[in-house]
Every structure is written in structure tokens, then in C-alpha cells.
Amino acid sequence: MQLRIINKSRHSLPEYHTSGSAGFDVRADLNEPIILSSGEWRVIPTGLFVQIPDGYELQVRSRSGLAAKNGLAVLNSPGTIDSDYRGEIGVILINHSTKPHEIVNGDRVAQLVLAKHETAEFVEVSELDDTDRGQGGFGHTGH
């Protein structure tokens, strides 16, 4: 599967770091560092533009190390980049920690996963099939 990329960043193309990696890291493409204060979020540019095959999306996910060590996460995780989007990939990072965090050019800020998806055909009905759970909401299953 090919993913066509225009790379306007100062960094090499993304790559999978191991043969079992589902995601590939993307890097911040910055002219100057960004300081994210506690509770603040910003869109971090990557300098990457992609052409995603029809029937696929790129999911934008937090990097576990960045989250565990620094409290930084992708705000709308997982974010979705649709196959018809042609703009620059931006990562919405939020600082959940209690202290500021500096992001510099080249920092790995998120990982992207290419995922196949289905497109639903919506069918309006007057009722839905019954299940054991029924309309039980959050926590209803007891697990």
C-alpha cells in the first residue's frame, strides 16, 4: 500500500521503526520552539501533506512515551485525516501536566496509523432489534 506524501518539512519522510509497528511517528516542523503551558493546547505543524487512498483514513494518536513522561497527548485522539484532505497535517497537542513543556523542531509529536474503514448506508427505521443490554448506558454492564 502506497501513501503519497509531499514533504515540505526539514525532516526525512516518516518511517516505521520496527517490523511490527502499526504507527509511524511524525515530527514537529517549527521555526521556533513552542511552550505549551499546563492545560494549553496548540496545533503543531508537521510540514507533511498526504494523499490517502479511498476507503482509508490516517488516525492521529498520542505517543505513549510523550504521554507517560510529559503528560502530552493528542487532544482529539484518535484524530482522523480523511482521504479527501490535502492540507498540511497538524497535530493538536494538549499539556495535561502541571508544568510547561517545550516543543522544538524535530520532536516526535504523534503517531499516525493508516486504517481501512467502511462507509455506512443509513437506513431509517421505526424501531431497533432488542438486546440483553437494551438502553442501559454508561457502566450498565457492571464491568
Q: How far apart are CA 121 and CA 98, in angstroms?
A: 45
Predicted pLDDT at 136: 76
C-alpha cell at 103: 516543543
pLDDT number for residue 142: 63
Task: Write out residues in the chain with pLDDT < 50, as ranges.
Answer: none
What is the DSSP track for 9-55? SSSPPP--SSTT-S-EEEE---SS-EEE-TT-EEEEEEEEEEEPPTT
State residue 46's pLDDT score.
Answer: 98
The answer for residues whose C-beta is within 8 angstroms of residue 107's C-beta and 6 or more apart is 27, 28
All structural domains of the chain with their residue ranges? 4-8+22-116
Rounded to two decimals, the pTM is 0.88
- The fold adopted by the segment(s) 4-8+22-116 is Deoxyuridine 5'-Triphosphate Nucleotidohydrolase; Chain A (2.70.40)
Residue 78, preceding bond cis, omega within 30 degrees? yes
Question: pLDDT value at position 141?
Answer: 67
Exposed, middle or buried, 77 (CB in 10 Å: 0-12/13-18/19+)?
Answer: middle
C-alpha cell at 130: 432488542
